[in-house]
Structure 1
Amino acid sequence: MEFKPEISYDPASKIWSSLDDHDHFDPELSIGEIIYHEMRRHPKQIAQISATENTVLLREEMLQNAMSIASYMRNLGLVQTDVVGIIGRNTTHMAAVAYACFFNGIAFHSLNVNYDESNIEKLFNITKPQVIFCDGDEYKTVKAATKSLNPKIVTMRKHAADSISIDQLLLTKVEQNFKPLRLEQGNNQTLAIICSSGTTGTPKAVTIANSRKILNGNLMLTTADVQYSHSSLDWITGLIAVITTAVFSTKRIISDNAFDAGLLLHLIEKHQITWLLLAPFHLAMVYHSPEYEQTNLDSVRYCMFTGCRCSLDLLNQLRKRLPGNVLHFAYGMTEVGIWATFNWNFDQKPKSVGRLTAGFKAKIVNESKEPLGPNEMGEVCLNNGQYWAGYFGNTQESRNIRDSNRWFYTGDLGYIDEDGFLFVMERKKDMLKYQNIMYYPHEVEEVICQMPQVADVCVFGVWNDTTGDEAAAAVVSKPGVQLRAEDVIDYVHNHVGAPYKQLIGGAIIVDDLKRSPNGKTNRLANKEHFMQVKGRN
């Protein structure tokens, strides 16, 4: 199959480039201004349905709520250099809080509800929010973590007696000629501050600019679409969902519970959901759900997944029930503010994360940071061609990940083939060595995933002073099946010839893998759990 020349390659610089950005809106408008104008166009259209709180908001109601919250912030005297804190689920009024911040040109700093008091204290001490929106579930923890900041704390649900209820803010009077504020720094100004995934240490406060690239991959959305993403505002996918539903006038379905595959399948059928943005482990949970085979999935037009790899076997199984070519792997990093590649060509390149989206460049470099050619393995580097304010309050780490020519060093190893498709193989830091032979955890994971009893797996290295990294695994079995650690070890032995890829370190069967708050498999945490189970230091 021939691919359209949407990607160009310069053999001299060994850089791949996509098409230039195309402005679908006035380039001078901020994200907040676009949302304000678009939400007024379809006032009687349903903007949002909460499946867990049983609420329905029209777009005119959502807009009114956002303006009331924005007016509350203005009455407090907040300015565009201030920061608003968020640590909450996808509740009825959370989107309005985000829009209010956009209308005022104030960045919000969003944290995951699973963060402990120590992480909340560290992260909010970086940005020092004057107002924090949280759920009553976490109110005491947030209050204790931010006592030195003494912010106003607004609860979104399960209101504490001494908190400010979101319902009080919705009563704030809106000035007669309310308009979004122009950004003092233009569209280079920070839109939001999101935490990195935290799989390699304490999460960083990642700034996201007012860039149109946040719309990449979603320009096909119309008023007929119904969107669902389980991510909250602490992850880039949650931010994408909140923004795109407002910009493209779609209907958004939300839920504020822990991810429930059965509930999602029910919502797809009930609301005829057309657009899904999920993590790979969500897809696995959906496939293994008892309701999966009985659910009509014909409404789904786009099912996008991102965050980590997904087994090819699982994707092929899902495609048997999903209509047409709707599964699309998206790849990027929080720091670039959106996905950098998208795979619209699963049938031709099923293992690829796709080609560059508009306005991006990519190159592959070796350990000396020299660029490599097509099909040569190295570190993936991305360039989004735009201003980045860096990690909030952390200049040194910002310089470590992005050089003076605006190239982000992702820490991922991969290659780009002759058609411009990127293949991401592994995290650079995940490389293991056994008897001085290099290998990667995913190579063993892909074998274990072929076992019919296995639902999920995480492989890591257990250090041996003599041999180096001995492969070990934490394995999740499918519901209702019997699986022993010995079965996994034997399967790898029978299906892998290389001695250095054997599960010499052992295996354990677990109910679920350890994950970061955003749902990514946390390799370090799974290794630590393995060591505890095995009674090793």
Structure 2
Amino acid sequence: MLDLNANPTTSYSAEQKIWSGAYEQNYYNDDLTIGQIIFRQLQSEPQRIFQISPGENTRLTRFQMLKNAAKVSVYLRKQGFCEDTHIVGILARNTTHLAALAYGCLFNGTPFHAVNHNLEEHTIQNLYSITKPMFICCDAQDYEKLRKVAENLGVTIITVHGRIVGVLSIQEILQATLPDDYEPTRFQRGIDRTMAILCSSGTTGTPKAVTISNSRKIFENHSYLNPDDIQYAPSTLDWLTGLITLITAGVYGTVRLISKEIFSPAHFLKLCEQQSISWSVLAASHIAMLANCPDVSVKELRSLRYLLFAGGHTLVATLHKMQSHLRVEGILRNAYGMTELGTCVSCNYSTHTKPTSVGRLLANIRMRVINDNGDAVGPNEMGELYCHNGQHWSGYCGNSTATAEMQDSDGWFHTGDLGYFDEDNYLHIVERKKDMLKFLGMMYYPHEIEEVIAQMSQVAEVCVFGIWNETEGDAAAASVVPKPGTHLQSAQVEQFVAEKIGVNYKQLNGGALIVQQLAKSANGKVNRKAVKAAYLKEEQNEAADS
């Protein structure tokens, strides 16, 4: 529900100290899965274009997408996929047949576990060891990376994009004949079944598999979409935003524009100009890149009705600059959510007047602010954000302890984020309690890099932290204390990490500094915040001297 200024309405109970989004009724029977809802949508106006992949030069109608997804569902049934513990692993980019693969799983009530293709092999192995998929679908270019993982798990691989001799491809599955009487699988309380499994990490960096139910909240907050909208998100299916755009396209019948290219301002502008994107979901870092791109203008972005962004902090000056590239106010919207919640919980429709906020709560969302004493506090008081979305959550696969830590017995999610509500009921995120950092859209933890640096024979102590910039995120940097009598240079540390860690986002992209000691708290623990402050001060001094 929106107020007279077209902003979400949020109320506050001073007695309970709870903020609540507007109440909205669910219009779908609780027995329906999202797969069944999408199946019916794809049946309407069957010749209407549903998906466009400019890079592959493919266009699929609703009927073609429906038929392809149904064939995937039939294949799953023949392979014995009938329980919600029968999982399909997906590690793939946004290419022509990815949506049919995912929708086919939804039609059959089969959860898929989506994992990012940029992750290291051992991380992928750990994640799939949790959910034990019956087979893994990947792009041909990642086959060698996945081959050993599949062998260790005793499962086969199916290629989604590209072909390999002797390996089943989704194109072969789509050649099958479809029964005329095909229907999606029916369930009792389909709304509570696990629909998908995405990836998250705990405070120790241990991978966790997050279940996402068939709750309508994943799409209901975007009911303003219609079949004339052309939507685009660069995120793959393993991100919540990637899943949201997959679902909203199917439910509301928008045109789904896809590309396997990583985000760049030039590519985005080209898509806007050639395909007339009207709704897009980007990362906060993408907004910074766009805002500071010299080629951006109102003309290139004139087709946009909604430009949502999430996943990090954006400078006020950047938001103002981005707003100047858009034809009217209200297009640029900042959203906040968590994978565990399976939806956006707030959205700022007024970034031009409330640039530091992530907006008001969306429908059927409740939130409390809990201080260090465990007490609920009121407006303009900071604390950890607790969120209640009123939906069923099956927790983390195979990790009941972490599930209980995330969601308490009353159903409140402990987000680990510090924030407050202002006097207008707008939510502000101050910082994360967790140590997790994000660089180039990929999550990592300081201790992962610290453990590598600690392998150097010259190293006595090390502290890794993130140096944030709005384009890339948290670049890892390290302060290193050498052992007495040894000689160690920053370049040696950076080179060692480069040799031991094979992915770019865990490199020391923020540099390294050799120091005599690390700042520590009274109990002897390394004070990461103070170490970082000393590092930045040293950088400033060096810059001043030069």
Band the TM-score falls in, shorter-chain normalisation: 0.7 to 0.9
Q: Output one character per residue of 1:120-151: Cα deviation in whole Å (capped at 9) or x when no partner.
A: 11110111111211001111111201213222
Counterpart amino acid of residue 305 in structure 1: F
Identity percentage of aligned residues: 39
State the partner residue of 2:79. Answer: 76
Question: Within the alignment, does 1:35 sit opposite 2:38 as a pair?
Answer: yes
Please state how far the C-alpha of 1:153 moved relative to its aligned partner. Answer: 1.1
| TM-aligned CA distance change 1:474 to 1:188, over 3 Å | closer
* Structure 1: gaps spanning 5 or more residues: 432-440, 443-457, 479-505
Q: Does 1:328 align with 2:337?
A: no
Question: Which residue, out of 310, 313, 318, partners 1:306?
Answer: 310
- The alpha-carbon deviation at position 535 of structure 1 amounts to 8.7
Instruction: Give, in whole Å, the separation in 2 of the partners of 1:295 and 1:8.
Output: 38
Query: How is 1:30-69 mapped onto 2 (pairs within 5 angstroms)?
Result: 30-69=33-72
Listed one character per residue, the Cα deviations across residues 180-227 of structure 1 (whole Å, up to 9, x for unaligned) are 111355311101000026786133100001000001331001111000
Aligned counterpart in structure 2 of residue 105 of structure 1, from 109, 113, 116? 109
Deviation (angstroms), 1:295: 5.1
CA contact (8 A) 1:124 1:146 kept: no
What SS class does the counterpart of residue 303 from structure 1 fall into? strand
What is the aligned partner in structure 2 of residue 228 from structure 1? 232
CA distance in 1, matches of 2:17, 2:390: 17
Query: One-letter code of the match for 1:79?
Result: C
The reply on whether 1:205 has 2:209 as its aligned counterpart is yes
Q: Which residue among 406, 430, 435 is the counterpart of 1:401?
A: 406
Name the structure 1 match of 2:190: 186
Distance 2:239 2:202 in 1: 11
User: Aligned pair in 2 of structure 1 residues 287, 70: CA closer, same or farther (>3 Å)?
Assistant: same
Give the 3-state SS of the residue equivalent to 1:245 in structure 2: helix
1:424 and 2:424 are equivalent in the alignment: no
TM-score relative to the length of structure 1: 0.81
Q: Please point out which of 155, 159, 162 is paired with 1:158.
A: 162
Q: What SS does the aligned partner of 2:39 have? A: helix
Distance 2:105 2:466 in 1: 46
**TM-score scaled to structure 2, two decimals?**
0.79
Taking a change above 3 Å as real, the CA distance of residues 476 and 333 of structure 1, as seen in their structure-2 partners, is closer
Whether the 8 Å contact between 1:245 and 1:252 is mirrored in structure 2 is yes
> 2 CA distance for matches of 1:206 and 1:230?
21
What does residue 367 of structure 2 align with? 362
- Look up the match of 1:346: 351
* Matched letter for residue 352 of structure 1: S
Whether the 8 Å contact between 2:150 and 2:156 is mirrored in structure 1 is no
Distance change (3 Å), C-alpha of 1:283 and 1:6: closer
Please give the secondary structure, in 2, of the residue aligned with 1:147.
helix
Contact 1:194–1:205, Cα closer than 8 Å, also in 2: yes
Q: 2:412 is matched by which residue type in structure 1? A: W
Taking the aligned partners of 1:62 and 1:83, their CA distance within structure 2 comes to 22
Q: Give the Cα separation in 2 of the matches to 1:368 and 1:258.
A: 44
Unaligned runs of 5+ in 2: 439-443, 451-461, 473-489, 519-546
Residue 293 of structure 1 and its aligned partner are, at CA, apart by 3.8
Residues 319/125 of structure 1: CA separation in 2 closer, same or farther (3 Å cut): same
| 1:14 aligned partner | 17
Secondary structure at the aligned position of 1:349 is classed as coil
Asked if 1:337 is matched to 2:342, the reply is: yes
Give the Cα separation in 1 of the matches to 2:471 and 2:353.
31
Q: Which amino acid aligns with 1:379?
A: E
Residues 426, 477 of structure 1: alpha-carbon distance in 2 compared, 3 angstrom cutoff = closer
**Which aligned pairs between 1:124-143 and structure 2 lie closer than 5 A?**
124-143=128-147
* Corresponding residue SS for 1:292: coil
CA root-mean-square deviation: 3.2
Read off the aligned partner of 2:42 and give its amino acid letter. M
* In 2, Cα distance between equivalents of 1:36 and 1:312: 42
Give the number of aligned pairs: 467
Render the CA deviation track for 1:152-204: whole Å, top value 9, x for unaligned: 21111232223211110101222221111113553111010000267861331
